[in-house]
Structure formats: C-alpha cells, structure tokens
C-alpha cells in the first residue's frame, strides 16, 4: 500500500479518503480511547475475572489516564510523537501483558508514521492503515499469537484488513474507520466460543470457552475510539 505525507490541515478539513490526518486527530483518538476504557473499565475487569487476573480494566484505565497526562505535559509535535508517547507510557504504566502489547502497537505505529514525513506533517488514511498494520504485527510477534488463539489479535487483525480494504476502495475516512471498528467488534464477539491458546486464559483450556476475551474486547473499544475520533473531527 502506498503511504506518504500529506500537507493538509487535518481530518476536519478533508474527511475524504485522501485527506490529511494531523496531530490533533491522533490526540483525539487517544482521548476517545481513554474515555471509552474508563466507561467500560468494570466490564473489562469482569471479563478478565472469568479467564484472567481480574485487572484488565483497571490496568488499562490507569494506563490511558497516564497517557493523557503525558500528552498534556508534553504536547506532541507530530502524529508519530503522539503515538510513541502513548506507547512508551503504556509500557511503563500498565501491568500484566496488556501494557507491553498495546504499548508496542502504539510505538510501532508511531515509528511507521515517523518514516513518512516531516515533524508535524499530517498523514494520509493510507499511511494510517499501513501503520495500523505494523502495530498489529508488533502485537503478534510479542505475544506470539495468531488469529483464533482467543487474544486481542482476533479483534485487531480483522480491523486492520477492513481498514486497508476500505482505504483501497476509496471510502471516506470516517466510513473506512467505521468498517474497521465493526470488524474489531465482530472479532471480539467471535472469541466467545474459542478455546484460549495464549495468555493466562490458556491455562484454563476448555473452561475458557463461553467467555469473551478481555484483550479482544478492549482492542475493539480502542478501534471504536479511532472511528469516533474521525467522526468527531469531520463534524467539527
């Protein structure tokens, strides 16, 4: 997929598939994600109580609160910096497996965008799709997980495929990201009948069947936040 910088003024100025996505857009995504994680904290913790350590929601809520604090203290100068700051903060502040996994995803996305253009430049939706894909690969490698293992990959991988296809098909940015969010939500729900093969839930074997994976659920929330950020900036 072709990816390159775009000198536009941001998603709010051009919501089309070729419009630029600026630093404010990525900060809006992280703000939306933090808010959604906070609202769904108890549900995520309940899901984790069934097949994990019962701390997924509280850990992520604390981590994303720290991300917002870091962004306020040192406002990012570029989309890449916003994502790398988020990634580094999650790695430092979130316990368990989710911190390193999400942190690596955001940090790898930031590194991918850093290769695209000058500091402060907006990026194209195609570049976002490409960077999102590299983030998913980072999670796969670190977690040694694949689709069907009942992990966050079961939400992230379909979202990445849906986003890439929507961008190739020329959909408007909000619609493309909504497709990704729908794919992530469907992927998370599809983990319910799966037997966990990775992570703490894998120790339960067949007893993990019948429960939605908490990592897939939180991944779906984060992708939904991405779609919400696009809609918000386009409407603004």
Q: Give one DSSP letter per residue of 104-122, joined into a string.
A: HHHHHHHHHHHTTSSTT-E
Give the C-alpha separation, 165 to 202, whole Å.
Answer: 32
Tokens representing residue 178 in the block = 């909504």
Per-residue pLDDT at 2 exceeds 60:
no
pLDDT tens for 146-200 read 999 899 999 999 999 999 999 999 999 999 999 999 999 999 999 999 878 777 6
Terminal CA-CA length for the chain:
29
Look up the CATH architecture of domain 15-235.
Answer: Alpha Horseshoe (1.25)
pLDDT grade for 117, boundaries at 50, 70 and 90:
low
**pLDDT at 41 (0 to 100):** 97
Q: Where are the domains of the chain?
A: 15-235
Q: Which residues contact 189 (CB under 8 A, 6 or more apart)?
A: 212
Per-residue pLDDT at 37 exceeds 90:
yes
**pLDDT at 160 (0 to 100):** 98
For residues 130 and 1, the answer to whether their CB atoms sit within 8 Å is yes
For residues 194 and 210, the answer to whether their CB atoms sit within 8 Å is no
pLDDT grade for 205, boundaries at 50, 70 and 90:
low
How high is the mean pLDDT of the chain?
87
For residue 6, the cross-strand partners are 122
**pLDDT at 144 (0 to 100):** 93
Q: Report the percentage of the chain scoring pLDDT > 90.
A: 69
| Average pLDDT value for residue range 38-43 | 97
**pLDDT at 199 (0 to 100):** 72
Per-residue pLDDT at 104 exceeds 90:
yes
What is the 8-class DSSP label of residue 16? S
Give the C-alpha separation, 178 to 176, whole Å.
Answer: 5
pLDDT tens for 73-91 read 999 999 999 999 999 999 9
* Higher local confidence (pLDDT), 4 or 51: 51
Identify the sign of the CA torsion 136, 142, 146, 150.
negative
DSSP, collapsed to helix, strand or coil, labels residue 5 as strand
**pLDDT at 119 (0 to 100):** 53
Q: Which residues contact 209 (CB under 8 A, 6 or more apart)?
A: 192, 193, 194, 195
Per-residue pLDDT at 212 exceeds 60:
yes
pLDDT tens for 8-20 read 333 333 333 445 7
**pLDDT at 140 (0 to 100):** 96
Most confidently predicted of 110-119, 166-175, 196-205: 166-175
* Higher local confidence (pLDDT), 32 or 211: 32
């Amino acid at each position: 997929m072709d990816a390159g910088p775009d000198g536009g003024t941001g998603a709010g100025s051009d919501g089309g598939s070729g419009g630029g996505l600026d630093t404010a857009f990525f900060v809006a995504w992280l703000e939306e994600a933090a808010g959604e994680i906070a609202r769904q904290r108890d549900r995520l913790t309940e899901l984790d109580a069934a097949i994990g350590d019962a701390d997924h929601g509280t850990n992520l809520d604390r981590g994303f609160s720290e991300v917002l604090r870091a962004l306020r203290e040192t406002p990012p100068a570029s989309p890449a910096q916003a994502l790398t700051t988020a990634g580094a903060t999650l790695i430092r502040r979130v316990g368990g497996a989710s911190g390193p996994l999400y942190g690596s995803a955001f940090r790898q996305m930031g590194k991918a965008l850093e290769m695209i253009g000058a500091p402060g430049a907006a990026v194209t939706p195609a570049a976002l799709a490409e960077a999102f894909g590299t983030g998913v690969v980072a999670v796969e490698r670190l977690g040694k997980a694949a689709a069907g293992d009942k992990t966050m990959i079961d939400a992230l991988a379909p979202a990445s495929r849906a986003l890439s296809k929507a961008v190739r098909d020329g959909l408007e940015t909000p619609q493309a990201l909504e497709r990704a969010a729908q794919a992530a939500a469907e992927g998370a729900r599809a983990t319910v009948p799966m037997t966990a093969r990775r992570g703490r839930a894998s120790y339960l074997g067949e007893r993990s069947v019948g429960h939605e994976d908490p990592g897939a659920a939180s991944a779906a929330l984060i992708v939904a936040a991405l779609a919400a950020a696009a809609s918000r900036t386009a409407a603004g």
